[in-house]
Amino acid sequence: MNPVALITGGGNGIGRAVAQRMAVGGMIVVVADYEYAAAEQVRAEVEEAGGTAAALSLDVTIAREVKVAVGEAAQRFGRIDVLANIAGGSFYTKRIEDFTWAEWKVVIDTNLKGTFLMCREVAPIMQKQKNGRILNTASNYGVTGSALRAPYSAAKAGIIAFTKSLALELAADGIRANTVAPGPTDTPRVMEKETPEARQQRWYSSIPLGRTGRPEDLAELYYFLTTPESAAITGQLFHCNGGLV
Amino acid sequence: MRLQDKVALITGGAQGIGRAIALGMGQEGARVIVADLQAEKAETVAAELRALGAEALALDVNVASEQSVQRLAERIFERFGRVDVLVNDAGVYLKAPVVSKSEEDWDRTLDVNLGGNFLCARAFVPAMRRQKSGRIISIASSIAHNGAREFADYAASKAAIIGFVKALARELGPDGITVNAICPGSANTDMPRRHRSEEETMARLRATPLGHVLEPEDIAGPILFLASDAAAYITGQTYNINCGTVMI
């Protein structure tokens, strides 16, 4: 029986690459995204390549939607072996005094609360299976902080500590939980805002490997953390940033 | 086969974690050099590798000796002409409280565990730079983060490896060489048994959040990942492999 992977934010960027990598690795992938059309497109790409996939519309900040989406995935495929929480974003770059409470909430809820809601819903399924792997997504900013991204940095740091606690709670049930921290990665969302030249200027001198990340670089790390090769790894943080941090 | 025809050098490859790494590399298609102070045991691992169908060479080395590492490099370049993967696993583990630790023991621990990393990097980095590719993976320890009573020198040497690895990753990144560290928790090898009874050792090994006894193969898996093309964008990192006993 093929393992089932549920990927939030699976419609674009890193999430899309992760969905494709998991499918190549033989998993059934459930692509959940706020943008349903994007999720649907990734589903079609995966199936065209010979994989099995489903697409779901999901706003991870709404508990009711999370419950419905996880229920649908579990019912359709009978189990959830891998949960990759990739939905998130920094949304704003501005000084702390210019953030409204509503903006603060958007950033914290999308990144941190969404991760909590997904884990809360999926963990009992994995506990029944006595098997599961949870992959949460932080950022190098969750460790170093970032001027003009205070709520994002806080949310990502929160995810790192949340995941450690979760790993301790779920270890006895054979469930592993780890965090992946992408560095600057060439996703469509960031490439829209910046020309390749501007990106090169900004990053290349500070990244020892001399290039920004590709979604595929991240996908390999997420995939590794689902395989038996990482069987003894839980509660840990994995940077993938070319040596920036 | 993720390491087809890569030349991989594993220091301290004769037993325990080093042996599991060597065997794992061989299974992935690498040509493996098992280098160890214990030449006979290294030869045994090389024979195991050949039985698996891998090309293997056992060489004796004292990683704390400049001349010995130099000789090792000469013999490797003569036979293989290159090194793609360097795994620094050679280490010593000498028990004594700080107040009664001898200067000799301190020097030996720091020279082998940390100095070996330096001497091997110095010997093999120029070839990796010429190749514009390479992987260096150094074995530290969860003790680097947690400390351990009566192993202060060991803790210091292993924490220093992490700092060294980060600096080296910055130096070598522009040449396409990645450098990472691994911090294993206490694993099911001879090492923890040197200072404890069998019963006590197994009880401690089982007392992890995952309830899984950490085997040498659990350490080898992530090292194979870091040595492979899949980890091309990962450098300067420390992987903690300890069944959840230490989270940092």
Give the pLDDT confidence of A28-57 residue by residue, as tens digits: 999 999 999 999 999 999 999 999 999 999
Cβ pair A232:B243 closer than 8 A: yes
pLDDT over threshold 90, residue A17: yes
CA B208 to chain CA mean position, Å: 23
Mean pLDDT over residues A229-245, rounded? Answer: 97
Mean pLDDT over residues B12-28, rounded? Answer: 98
Distance between CA atoms of residues B240 and B22, nearest Å: 20
Site from B129, B206, B226, B233 to mutate, A interface, most A CB atoms within 10 angstroms:
B233
Distance between CA atoms of residues B198 and B185, nearest Å: 17
pLDDT at A145: 94
pLDDT over threshold 90, residue A140: yes
pLDDT tier at B18 (50, 70, 90 boundaries)?
Answer: very high
Distance from CA of B109 to the nearest CA of A (A): 27
What's chain A's average pLDDT?
Answer: 96
Q: Which of A13, A12, A62, A59 is nearest to A37 (CA)?
A: A12
pLDDT tier at B124 (50, 70, 90 boundaries)?
Answer: very high
pLDDT at B195: 87
pTM for the whole structure: 0.94
What's chain B's average pLDDT?
Answer: 97
Mean pLDDT over residues A219-235, rounded? Answer: 98
pLDDT digits (tens, 9 = 90+) for B151-177: 999 999 999 999 999 999 999 999 999
For every residue of A42-98, DSSP letters joined together read HHHHHHHTT--EEEEE--TT-HHHHHHHHHHHHHHHS---EEEE----------GGG
Question: Active site includes B239?
Answer: no
Task: Nearest by CB to B211, from A172, A229, A240: name it.
Answer: A172
Mean pLDDT over residues A64-84, rounded? Answer: 98
Q: Which residues from chain B sit within 8 angstroms of residue A165, using beta carbons?
A: none
Task: Nearest by CB to A242, from B173, B242, B243: name it.
Answer: B173
pLDDT digits (tens, 9 = 90+) for A169-192: 999 999 999 999 999 999 999 999
Among all residues of chain A, which has the CA nearest to that of B185? A232
Cβ pair B169:A172 closer than 8 A: no
Site from B172, B213, B234 to mutate, A interface, most A CB atoms within 10 angstroms:
B234
Q: Which residues from chain B sit within 8 angstroms of residue A214, using beta carbons?
A: 233
Length of chain A: 245
Q: Which of B14, B66, B21 is nearest to B35 (CA)?
A: B14
Cβ pair A217:B232 closer than 8 A: yes
Distance from CA of A203 to the nearest CA of B (A): 13
Tokens standing for residue A14: 């890193």
pLDDT tier at A200 (50, 70, 90 boundaries)?
Answer: confident
pLDDT digits (tens, 9 = 90+) for B187-201: 999 988 988 999 999
pLDDT over threshold 90, residue A242: yes
DSSP-derived secondary structure letter, A206: T
